[in-house]
Amino acid sequence: LFIANDTISGLIKNKGESKIKNQIEFKYSMDEKTIKYSAKDIFGFEIANRKYISREIILNNKKAHVFLEYLVDGIKDLYFLRDKNEYHFYISFESDSLIELKNTESIIVINGQSYSKPNFEFKKMLSFAFIDAPELTESINNLSYSYNDLIEITKKYHDITCPNGVCTIYSKANESKSTFGISIGTRFSDSNFSFNTAENPTFLNKSPKLELSYSISNLAGFSNLEQVIGIGYFHNRIKNKRRELIFNNISIPVYLKYHKRIKNIDPFFKIGFENTFHFGKNIKNAQPIVDIIEEVVTYQFWGILGIGTDLNILNQTFIIESNIILGKGFNRTIYSYRPTLHFDRINLEFMLGYKF
């Protein structure tokens, strides 16, 4: 706790961001009585490597004393407040005055349909706050209204205006953010493959693909890095004179994406690998009338290279991407350990997705 010019150590109950803004519960030790402090009683406190300070702000059109979380403590201070499900950001100016960085929305009507449009007031406020660092103009114009982006731009301001670094007393590390996604698209397979007794035909196979994904952005504190793991399904049908293969495929891709945001467009490059399990049938045309059918279970390991972009439209994130997937492997039937098919394959994917 920070009281007057004194610092007191003890235990603070962590009640969550939205509840801790008005009052905290403090104990000198586990056996001591709980003391409640409001934002009017103390200067601030620190809990779980987070620093909070007492400030008076306008909240819901009323003056209120609250605890704001320090995001950056320097020449220009950046603060954060969570009120129920709403996020509020504040930046300090001369004489310790605070200005809220807002991003309100306007309703527009097009062809009888109503749409919400962000107003981006926070960009104008940041341009005014960082007027002595004009090299940040483009970065500010490309900002999204997010916790990590606002921390990053404020840290960049201090790097420019105070290159020796002594002007920044404290800055909070970027926090990782988890999102889910769903993508649909088409997978093209161009392969040379061989059966034990067949020639080496080339085939072109086109199949629809569905993929679900889980991603973690701001990986290891780097705002441009994102790690993704997914699970997908696609269908293959391969045929030559002697045999026909019918596969249902389950893929598990794992990859890293490097982003470079440009306004509402967030292009990325991705690299990683994919594990694919093929479940299907190997139909041998041994005689003109009789087919010999074997159940085929195949595992393959692929390398992934891809490019794409995230599109931020009306606070929604859509994904457009294309991938090159290279793989080499073989399958075995469930009745034998003898390889029945060898693959040298290149796949091309075109996918459209949505993050939520």
211-252 pLDDT, tens per residue? Answer: 999 998 877 667 688 899 999 998 877 666 666 667 788 999
Give every CB contact of residue 131 below 8 A, 6+ residues apart in sequence: none
Could you report the per-residue pLDDT of 253-263, keeping only the tens digit for each? 999 999 887 76
The closest alpha carbon to 250, from 226, 271, 280, belongs to: 280
CA distances from 75 to 72, 128, 136, 305, 334 (A): 9, 14, 16, 43, 68
pLDDT of residue 195: 42
Q: Are 273 and 303 in contact (CB under 8 A)?
A: yes
**10 Å Cβ neighbour count for 101?**
20
At 340 the pLDDT is: 46
Q: Which residue has the higher pLDDT, 276 or 338?
A: 276
Can you name the residues that pair with 233 across neighbouring β-strands?
210, 250
Please, which pLDDT band fits residue 268 given cuts at 50, 70 and 90? very high
Q: What pLDDT does residue 194 have? A: 44
Q: Output the six-digit token pair for 242.
A: 């002697």
pLDDT of residue 321: 93
Query: Which contiguous run of DSSP H or E holds residue 151?
Result: helix 147-161
How many CB atoms neighbour CB 58 within 10 A? 10
155-161: average pLDDT:
86
Over its C-alpha atoms, the chain yields an Rg (Å, rounded) of 28
Q: Output helix, strand, coil percentages for the chain, rounded to the nearest 5.
A: 10, 60, 25
What is residue 270's predicted lDDT score, i.e. its pLDDT?
Answer: 94
Once rounded to an integer, what is the mean pLDDT over residues 177-189? 88
In whole angstroms, give the CA distance from residue 285 to residue 244: 8
Residue 207 DSSP label: E
Does the pLDDT at position 190 exceed 50?
yes
Pairwise pLDDT comparison (172 vs 114), residue with the higher score: 114
Residue with tokens 């467009």: 265
Strand (E) or helix (H) holding 138: helix 137-141
> At 76, which amino acid appears?
K
Question: Would you say 154 and 78 are in contact if contact means Cβ atoms under 8 Å apart?
Answer: yes
Q: Are 267 and 309 contacting, i.e. CB atoms less than 8 angstroms apart?
A: yes
pLDDT band of residue 162 (cuts 50, 70, 90) is confident
Contact between residue 265 and residue 281 where contact means Cβ atoms under 8 Å apart: no
Of 66 and 313, the one with more pLDDT: 66
Q: Which residues make beta-bridge pairs with 95?
A: none
- Are 226 and 216 in contact by the 8 Å Cβ rule? The answer is yes
Contact predicate 318/308, CB 8 Å: no
Do 299 and 258 meet the contact criterion of CB atoms below 8 Å apart? Answer: no
Give me the DSSP letters along 100-117: EE---EEEEEETTEEEEE
Confidence label for 203 from pLDDT (cuts 50, 70 and 90): very low
Give 339's pLDDT tier (boundaries 50, 70, 90). very low
How many Å apart are CA 87 and CA 85, to the nearest integer?
Answer: 7
Q: Alpha-carbon distance 203 to 247, whole Å?
A: 15
More confident position, 219 or 43: 43
Band of residue 292 on the pLDDT scale cut at 50, 70, 90: low
Residue recorded with tokens 């020796």: 164
Query: Average pLDDT of the chain?
Result: 79
Q: What is the pLDDT of residue 289?
A: 46
